[in-house]
Amino acid sequence: MSLRETELRYRPAQAPAKQASADCTTGRRMSGAPRPALQMQLPRPAWLVCVMAGFLMPAAQAVQVADVMQEMQAANVMQEVQAADVMQVTQVTQVTQATQATQSPKPASIGQPAARARIISLAPHITELLYAAGAGDRIVATVTRSDYPPQARQLPRVGDGLNINLEQIIALQPTVVMLWRPGGASSLLEPWAKAAGFALAYSTPASLADIIDSVEHLGTLYGDPTLAREQAEALRAQQKQLHTRYAQRPWVTALIEVGSNPLYTIGNDPLLNSALAECKVRNAYAQARQAAPQVNPEDVMLRQPELILAPTTDPARVQEITRYWTTLGVRAAQQGHVAGINPDALFRPGPRLLQALEAVCLAAEKVRHSHASPTE
């Protein structure tokens, strides 16, 4: 699986604007062989021209995305895939944080009711939210990384997050295309939506409460209101139970791995960091500038996190990560405090985040018990 199968955008190439030009409305490169107008696959320098012209997105947002992508593209193929859903989560929360003063996240921003909605989901977390809301049968297509629940794997694909096939989207005659913001897809779709007859709707959860409210709201709009309400209430009860159980427990500092060679971790991600706080788990790199920074193993050795969260459910891989950190003298690994967590559940802002938190909370509690019983 390659980076083209992730939910990330291209980082603009570091080339002067004069080296390439583009017709931003068609995605056609003005020099060299033209690209299909509806495929919307701008070469990187041409994409940069459109960004700098203000056509696709504000330059400040482009720079923010570029900073993150510069780091993520340094990882190998598998690590890039693992990092995809982290970036989906973190880019959503970054833009929400940046616009809180003028646009507070409300479930109503997801969309408007449609009697017979035909939905295209352009993000894995949106697909999961729709199925949880009883609206899975309204989805007519999605993107490559939308793989949960299992029935979502049978849906047609209209892109991979980097390349959105607009021609295919139009042929499917959707009434609603749902996506997260910011995203290259939103900028490419906006000029075409009205003419093609579909609405754009955004899912920008910034907290656990937003995720839960989204399930209920999507059920009202497109799915089964009764089922969605029951699902939402169950999720609220689960969150309340976690909060009540761990509110008075001591804090545990954790390293949250994304990839290991080179090492990437979760940094300044308000949504995920606030969710971890339900377990009284503090991200060791929460104060980092980036959402998913690359860090030096030596820095981890200096910080000595009490818990390491590994992005895998493979026991053999957990053992490998444990041996690595043990060799480097990280006490958490030496004491067996390396926990494998399903990365899709933890890094996507969807209903399964609470399931992942249950596992995180248990791992943190194990750390607390070891502190209370040094001989264990």
Give the gyration radius of the chain's Cα atoms: 21
List helix spans (H) across the chain: 44-52, 59-72, 77-98, 124-132, 166-171, 184-196, 208-221, 225-246, 270-276, 297-303, 315-327, 331-334, 343-347, 353-372
Distance of CA 244 to the CA centre of its chain: 27
Check residues 59 and 270 and name the one with the higher pLDDT: 270
Question: What are the φ and ψ backbone dihedral angles of 94, each rounded to 5 degrees?
Answer: -65, -45
How far is the C-alpha of 150 from the C-alpha of 175, rounded, in Å?
Answer: 24
Average pLDDT over residues 297-318: 97
* Per-residue model confidence (pLDDT) at position 110: 57
205 backbone φψ class: left, alpha, beta (φ>0; ψ -120 to 50): beta
* Per-residue model confidence (pLDDT) at position 371: 85
Q: Is the peptide bond before 262 cis (omega within 30 degrees of 0)?
A: yes
| Residue whose C-alpha is closest to residue 46's, from 59, 30, 61 | 30
**Residue 182 pLDDT grade (very low, low, confident, very high; cuts 50, 70, 90):** low
pLDDT in tens, 4-41: 333 333 233 333 333 333 333 333 333 333 333 333 33
Whole-prediction pTM value?
A: 0.71
Residues β-bridged to residue 322: none
Tokens of 264: 């990437």
**Residue 187 pLDDT grade (very low, low, confident, very high; cuts 50, 70, 90):** confident
Q: Is the pLDDT of residue 78 over 70?
A: no
pLDDT in tens, 312-349: 999 999 999 999 999 999 999 999 999 999 999 999 99
Element (H, E) at 120: strand 119-121
Check residues 166 and 376 and name the one with the higher pLDDT: 166
How far is the C-alpha of 349 from the C-alpha of 86, rounded, in Å?
Answer: 9
Check residues 180 and 249 and name the one with the higher pLDDT: 249
Residues composing the chain:
376
Q: Is the pLDDT of residue 202 over 60?
A: yes
Tokens of 354: 């609470």
Tokens of 330: 């990280």
* Per-residue model confidence (pLDDT) at position 186: 82
pLDDT in tens, 89-113: 344 333 333 333 223 234 434 555 5
* Per-residue model confidence (pLDDT) at position 12: 32
| Residue whose C-alpha is closest to residue 88's, from 359, 356, 353 | 353
Is beta strand 307-310 parallel, antiparallel or unpaired with respect to 252-260? Answer: parallel
| Residue whose C-alpha is closest to residue 155's, from 205, 111, 228, 168 | 168
pLDDT in tens, 320-329: 999 999 999 9
Q: Is the pLDDT of residue 262 over 50?
A: yes
Tokens of 133: 């809301």
Q: Is the pLDDT of residue 79 over 70?
A: no
Check residues 3 and 111 and name the one with the higher pLDDT: 111
* Per-residue model confidence (pLDDT) at position 161: 66
Q: Which residues neighbour 280 within 8 Å (Cβ) at sequence distance 6 or greater?
A: 246, 247, 249, 250, 251, 252, 364
* Per-residue model confidence (pLDDT) at position 236: 98
* Per-residue model confidence (pLDDT) at position 185: 80
What domains appear along the chain, each with residue ranges and CATH number? 3-72 (no CATH), 107-237 (3.40.50.1980), 243-372 (3.40.50.1980)
| Residue whose C-alpha is closest to residue 220's, from 71, 108, 351, 327 | 108
How far is the C-alpha of 128 from the C-alpha of 221, rounded, in Å?
Answer: 15
Residue type, 182: P
Rounded to whole angstroms, what are the CA distances from 48 to 57, 63, 324, 342? 10, 10, 40, 35
pLDDT in tens, 120-162: 999 999 999 999 999 999 999 999 999 999 999 999 999 986 7
* Per-residue model confidence (pLDDT) at position 112: 55
Three-state secondary-structure class, residue 3: helix
**For residues 351 and 231, is the Cβ–Cβ distance under 8 A?**
yes
Q: What is the mean pLDDT of the chain?
A: 77
What is the DSSP annotation of 127-149?
Answer: HHHHHHTT-GGGEEEB-TT---S
Tokens of 359: 């596992």
Tokens of 136: 């899975």
Sequence-separated contacts (24+) of 227-236 with Cβ below 8 Å: 227/133, 227/134, 228/132, 228/133, 228/134, 231/132, 231/133, 231/351, 235/211, 235/351, 235/354, 236/212
**For residues 361 and 277, is the Cβ–Cβ distance under 8 A?**
no
Q: Is the pLDDT of residue 198 over 80?
A: yes
Percentage, residues of the chain above pLDDT 70 = 68
Element (H, E) at 256: strand 252-260
